[in-house]
Structure 1
Amino acid sequence: MPDGSTHSHALSVAGQDISLTWSGSTHTGRRREVNQDAFLTIFPLFVVADGMGGHIGGEIASASTVDRLRIVADGGSVSAKTIEKALSRAVKDIAGHVDTTDDGTGTTLTGVYLETTGGTPHWVTLNIGDSRVYLSRDGAIAQITTDHSVVQELIASGRLSPEEAENHPYGNVITRAVGPSESVSPDYVRLDVVDGDRFVICSDGLTKELTDYGIQHFLTENDDPADAVEAMMEAALENGGRDNITIIVLDVAVDSSPAAG
């Protein structure tokens, strides 16, 4: 796993100089004995996976998924097609592992990748389950992904308020995951590349302990991604740390000035 320091990558595409800085960290939390989260930060792909399943099944599921996506990121050809091929391979890996005997073994997956083909660069978020991608832009934070969960379906149907959802007994029940079924496709959202944007990619171990306002607060207080990750992690642990916690903060800087000629 990355060491919690800040990493960077710069590129020029479509007349724009884009500079990315990021940091990621994971923690078992205060109440769990095993960390079933995994994450990947290899340009252009940044993802978090939160495993579930008895024994060490969840750990295997999240690690298998991240390992398959690492191959895609290392190959440099990240797209919906290559991601979904990798997920199909991960499902087979999970099903074939001797320690994943639980039918419920699987993992969430969420994150972003930078798409640079086809002209104007853009971000694509991907999501399966209830881990989340947030975008902080112009001092306001928004959840970009939509949870695949029983509680979210109840909220969407008007049968449950967001306030009631916070302590709902089915709060941990997700409706889509990598592993339990043979094929599963992420939801995708395209986003413009905007100077000053900050992404937070996290497992629900963070969002159980910090509100959206709290996440934005620590981004505002910490310009460096590693400092922001550390501050959020400390706050989540102080607030209870009831689950594994994984956080990636990814910052975007764009210079669209024409090159001197």
Structure 2
Amino acid sequence: MLTIGAFAKASRLSPKALRLYDELGLLTPARVDPVTGYRLYDPAQLERARLVAWLRRLGMPLARIRQVCDLEPAAAAREVRAFWAQVEADTEARRELARFLVDHLSEEESAMSNVPMGIRYAALSDTGLVRESNQDAAYAGTRLLAVADGYGSAGGPASAAAIEALRHLDADGLPAGNLLNVLEEAVHEAGRAVHHVAGDDAGTTLTAMLWTGSRLALVHIGDSRAYLLRGGELFQITHDHTFVQSMLDEGRISPEEATAHPQRSMLLRALSGGAGATPDIRLHDVRLGDRYLLCSDGLSAVVAAGSVHEVLAAGADPERTARELVDLANRSGGPDNVSCVVADVVAE
């Protein structure tokens, strides 16, 4: 038998990784000492361990690695081939997003940068077909776009208070000072407003964008989302702050398992009466023709991204598009409140 240290060295996996793989049932020790609790491994397990290490270097999620390791060699090879084909397809799909990020980080001016731009927008919130009340809130104005999804006994007042705390940003003239600092302070004020109306028993997500005339400043906390339609491609530009998303990021579950996980709505970050949580805040360069969608999980949890893409790309005006997205959520069962804000960047 090999100790966990010796086995880690031989397999090129860390002891920490081996402990995780034991917890997940991916690489269980041959024996555990009943007195010391030390994990002991059979040298015959090295082949499986090395396969796990190679698959992790490919970026394969742990849930899928478990499936591959249990297959016969020929079937495992087909699964690896299918996984890599999907990686290549995903890489191609993200090509435009990479270009977008390069443009943003290098602050390159586009050919249309001197064209005065504005936004055309619409907001819509609906109770859905199952819930008795609407705990969502949505707002769209000349500068501010926002969606909030409340939860708990006072979820409705919480979401409304969060957006109301940001409403002053919609006034003419941008706030003085660094824009990101201004946004961060506004979100702190929103958190205090939520605590004032909801106490410790409720809270809300918040995804909002502030139009500067040439950029959109994004603030995000929770599992409401923001999407960008650019050049015919749809990109999710926020990251869910949920327990299930964290498991997905770590490779503990597959995307298919995530969609049906019983704890998929458990938030890791939100505006609430508890300890302050840090929102994601950043600037986005815009281009003429960009279309943005902010939505609560009443849309994203029940409607496939491909269907959302199809509606956004159809080119209807923001008001009609928002209505079609809400209708789509309700046709999918409408199990939750659903809110959408659609905004187009246009020449003025």
CA separation of 1:15/1:233 partners in 2, compared to 1, >3 Å: closer, same or farther? same
**Aligned residues: percent identity?**
34
Find 2:244's aligned residue among 147, 151, 176.
151
Shift of 1:191: 2.1
State the match for 1:201 in structure 2: 294
Q: Aligned partners of 1:93, 1:42: CA distance in 2, in Å?
A: 21
Q: How big is the shift at 1:18?
A: 0.6
Structure with bigger RCO (C-alpha 8 Å, 6+ apart)? 1
| Residues 1-261 of structure 1: pairs in structure 2 closer than 5 A | 15-54=114-153, 57-74=154-171, 76-77=173-174, 79-97=179-197, 100-101=198-199, 103-116=200-213, 121-254=214-347
Structure 1 unaligned residues grouped into runs of 5+: 1-12, 256-261
Q: Deviations over 1:133-159 (max 9, x none)?
A: 000111110100000000110010011
Q: Does the residue aligned with 1:16 lie in a helix, a strand or coil?
A: coil
TM-score, normalised to structure 2, is: 0.63
User: Deviations 1:48-101 (Å, cap 9, x if unpaired)?
Assistant: 0000112xx11111111111101232264353333332333333333333xx35
User: For each residue in 1:179-210, what CA deviation from the matched residue of structure 2 results, as whole angstroms up to 9, or x when unmatched?
Assistant: 23353332123322111111010000001221
In structure 2, the CA distance between the partners of 1:14 and 1:143, relative to structure 1 (3 Å rule), is closer
RMSD: 1.9
Instruction: Give 3-state SS (helix, strand or coil) of 2:124's partner.
Output: strand
Quote how far apart the aligned CAs of 1:14 are: 6.6
**1:254 CA displacement:** 4.1
TM-score, structure 1 normalization: 0.83
Contact in 1 for aligned 2:194/2:273 (Cα 8 Å): no
Between 1:107-116 and 1:229-238, the stretch displaced more is 107-116
More strand by share: 1
Richer in helix (by share): 2
> Secondary structure in 2 aligned to 1:240?
coil
Structure 2: how far apart are the matches of 1:73 and 1:186? 20
Task: Tell me the distance in 2 between the aligned counterparts of 1:81 and 1:189.
Answer: 10
Where do 4+ consecutive residues of structure 1 move more than 6 Å? none
